[in-house]
Amino acid sequence: MFARIQITTPKQGNHHRVAPTEYRDIPGFCKSATIEDIRKHGYVLTPGRYVGAAPQEEDDEPFEEKMARLVAQLREQQAAARRLDAEIARNLQELGFWENSR
């Protein structure tokens, strides 16, 4: 076991952290598997078999409302993408790298 190691989680970003001197499993991030655990999984070392998933936050938004919100957000993003595509095409055309016959 390492006495001091640097660990970051996706939520922490790339900040350097010194881990506590005592190891602990973190669901969805790390797990210390025993040889017996590994044997039970046929010696397959795919992390997901051992680490599992982090607990999920409760989602109490009704499905119909959530889908309506997400579809509206998607439509806004698609409209923005069309505007950006047109702007990029105009810029490339001005530079002589875009044909109108597309």
User: Tens digit of pLDDT for each residue in 11-70?
Assistant: 555 444 555 568 888 888 888 889 999 999 999 988 888 888 877 888 999 999 999 999
Model-level pTM?
A: 0.46
Contacts of 37 (CB under 8 A, 6+ apart): 50
The tokens of 83 are what? 């505007």
pLDDT range class, residue 6, cuts 50, 70, 90: low
Highest mean pLDDT (candidates 54-58, 70-74, 94-98)? 70-74
Mean pLDDT of 1-16: 52
Residue 50 CA to residue 41 CA, distance in Å, equals 9
